[in-house]
Amino acid sequence: MVGYKLNGYKNLTKDKSVVSYLTPDKVYIPLKNGSNEDSTELVSKGNHVFKNMHIAHLKGPLKINIISSISGKVIGIEEKTFFNGQKVKCLVIENDYKEDIENNASLKKNITSYSKEEFLDCLLDAGIVGMGGASFPTYIKYSTDKKIKTLIINAVECEPYITTDYRMLFDYTEEILETIDAIMKINKIDNAILAIKKTHKSLINHINNYIGSYDHIILKTVPNLYPMGWERLLIEKTIGVEYDKLPIEQGIVVNNVSTIYAIYEALKYGKRVTERIITFSGDMLVEPVNMLVKTGTLLKDIMKEFKFKKGNFNIIAGGPMMGSIVDDDLVISPSLNCVLFLEKKCDVEVTECIRCGKCAKVCPARLSPVLIKDYLKDITMLKKLKADNCISCGLCSYICPSNIDVRSYTEKARDIVRKAG
């Protein structure tokens, strides 16, 4: 079996109720989604904006709306830190604490009565993107002529520490099941699979109390392995299907739990993406929590709410495997699900590769990083080794007994192959 069992650290937060921090003085709305930065601002300095209002568009094939998360005055554009560690242009809005909401028309009482077109419009309008970290615009997944056969709800959260989906599924079970049902009816999907880790026993019991009334939604458990939440592996494990580039080729759509809940709020209340739950955890935090925060909130402001243990720490945006080290200028964006405060350890000693082959054993993409590292200069070999399939999961770096950052080699190889075409 590919993948590897990691220590989850989920108990730090999974059974605590969600707290909230919704009153930042200013928000910094990043004008970027994924790698799409092609923005057109709809407001300018001095304008008053409502909460829930479109304040910018990102153009291109992955177009998406950028939403204001508070009401107040636009006071300019500043550069802040994006979750990938790079700088990002942000619209700065000063909070007037009135929470004035722009009215959103065309609401339906029953969320199943949307037509497919209305549904897609609603997702685009609400600025919903994959909230598990991928930030892929959700409406695109459903805009297909192909028959969607299966909807998979990804509640795996295979990265350590993160429990936002776990919490979400526990607290909003009915809403989420109702939304899955509605999405199935609107898109005429035959069946849905809710994928949860085998080890989350209490959550499984909890959901079993509700799921009975939804015939077409099946709960499936998956092994506690990293990176089980990776689409390709998840689909293979739950329905045994492989695909080439995108799941839709096989009539499959995969959504994460937080995304489903965002769809629920959009369909039911016309709410766009202005808030999300984020796991704040790590060994340096006295009280790890799940916290509801507004998009555009600066990490520095949120950190004032926390107590830290003594010592130096790294701030990580995302999980410990795929996340990046950032500074406290980090802004909250819709696809960020976790911020960690981990003790800064002295550099580990990197020793010679012993060719133990552990990296090849665990690689979920079934690559041989140990060989890729050897052939870094030989493009034809790298192509044969399928280096372009690397998903940056980091398991090779994690497992390496010689402490080599194997991922940096496979990523380099992947970029070489992709560039060569």
- Binding footprint of other proteins on the chain (CB under 8 A): 4, 6-7, 160, 314, 316, 320-325, 340, 342, 348-349, 351-358, 360-361, 368, 370-371, 384-385, 394, 397-403, 405, 407-408
The least distance separating other proteins from the CB of residue 346, rounded to whole angstroms, comes to 13
Q: Judged by CB, which is closer to other proteins: 168, or 390?
A: 390
d(CA 253, CA 137): 13
Supply the minimum distance, in Å, between the C-beta of residue 391 and other proteins: 13
- Phi (first) and psi of residue 41, to 5 degrees: -80, 140
Q: Which amino acid is at 5?
A: K
Secondary structure (3-state) at 171:
helix
Min dist CB 58 to other proteins, Å, is 27
Query: Quick one: 64 or 387, whose CB is closer to other proteins?
Result: 387
3-class state of residue 25 by DSSP: coil
Give φ, ψ of 378 to 5 degrees.
Answer: -110, 95
DSSP conformation class of 213? T
CB of 291 to other proteins, least distance (A): 21
Least Å from the CB of residue 1 to other proteins: 12
Structure-token pair, residue 147:
């028959």
Which is closer to other proteins, CB of 199 or CB of 402?
402
Q: Which is nearer to other proteins, 62 or 353 (CB)?
A: 353
H helix runs in 88-128, sequence order: 116-125
Could you tell me the smallest distance in angstroms from the CB atom of residue 348 to other proteins?
7
CA distance linking residue 270 with residue 108, whole number of Å? 9
Q: Please state the closest distance from residue 44 (CB atom) to other proteins, in A.
A: 37
Burial class of residue 188 (count of CB atoms within 10 Å of its CB; 0-12, 13-18, 19+): exposed
Least Å from the CB of residue 351 to other proteins: 4
E-strand ranges in 3-53 read 19-21, 26-30, 39-41, 48-49
ω into 227 cis (within 30 of 0): yes
* 191 contacts 218 by C-beta, under 8 angstroms: yes
The answer to whether 104 and 52 are in contact (CB under 8 A) is yes
Closer to other proteins by CB, 187 or 324: give it.
324
The answer to whether 67 and 53 have CB atoms below 8 angstroms apart is yes
Structure tokens at 217: 């939604």
**To the nearest whole angstrom, how small is the minimum distance from the Cβ of residue 342 to other proteins?**
6
Task: Give whichever of 15 and 405 is closer to other proteins, judged by the CB atom.
Answer: 405
**Longest Cα separation, the chain:** 64
Measured CA to CA, the distance from residue 358 to residue 350 in angstroms comes to 16
Q: Which is nearer to other proteins, 209 or 312 (CB)?
A: 312
Shorter beta-carbon distance to other proteins: residue 87 or 188: 87
Q: What distances in angstroms separate CA 413 from CA 20, 157, 391, 407, one per listed residue?
A: 42, 27, 12, 10
Residue number, 222 or 367, with CB nearest to other proteins:
367
In whole angstroms, give the CA distance from residue 62 to residue 71.
27
